[in-house]
Structure formats: structure tokens, C-alpha cells
């Protein structure tokens, strides 16, 4: 499964964000992940988006190498920032 959604970049315009690329354990190593990845890239290119984007954990070196080998850049200078529901509640409580 390739789960993605449209986004808009103020720098690049229309983009797609790849949330998850999932291949079940019993189907790994058969090329399905590469096929899904390629289909996603083809779809994004045909849709005319200016960029595709996703996250990869720094300890997942096989995935990092896979993406780099495909021509993707794994950015080292941007950090993912998240706030869960409790952190949102805490922030909003402090602002009142």
C-alpha cells in the first residue's frame, strides 16, 4: 500500500506527501515495494506536482540507502516537529 495525500508548498507549489509505503512481511523481497514506489512517483509526475516528500527514520539505513539510490535526497538539515494531543492541550492551557 502507498498512502499519500496532496500538500501545497509555499516554495514549490503542489506536492504529494507519502505517508506510508507498506508491504506485508510475507511479500517483502519480491519487488512489490519498488513497484509501489515507482507507481507513486509516476502518479505524482503525471499529476504535475513539483515535489514529493516523505519521512524516513535515520536508523533505517536500508530505507535511507534505497531512497538515495533512487535519486532522492535525504535531508539532514530539517527536523520533523510533532505535537501530540496532550502537548496541544498543554500549550492551549498555558495560552489561556
Closest CA to 2 of 45, 32, 29: 32
State the catalytic residue, choosing from 5, 37, 67, 91: 67
* Dist. CA 95–CA 89, nearest whole Å: 10
Q: Copy the grid coordinates of residue 69.
A: 539510490
Catalytic site residue 32? no
- The set of catalytic residues is 67
Amino acid at each position: 500500500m502507498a498512502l499519500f495525500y496532496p500538500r501545497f508548498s509555499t516554495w514549490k507549489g503542489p506536492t504529494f506527501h507519502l505517508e506510508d509505503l507498506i508491504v506485508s512481511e510475507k511479500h517483502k523481497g519480491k519487488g512489490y515495494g519498488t513497484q509501489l514506489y515507482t507507481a507513486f512517483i509516476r502518479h505524482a509526475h503525471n499529476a504535475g506536482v513539483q515535489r514529493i516528500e516523505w519521512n524516513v527514520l535515520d536508523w533505517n539505513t536500508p530505507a535511507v540507502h534505497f531512497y538515495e539510490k533512487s535519486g532522492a535526497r535525504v535531508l539532514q538539515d530539517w527536523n520533523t516537529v510533532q505535537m501530540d494531543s496532550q502537548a496541544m492541550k498543554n500549550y492551549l492551557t498555558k495560552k489561556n
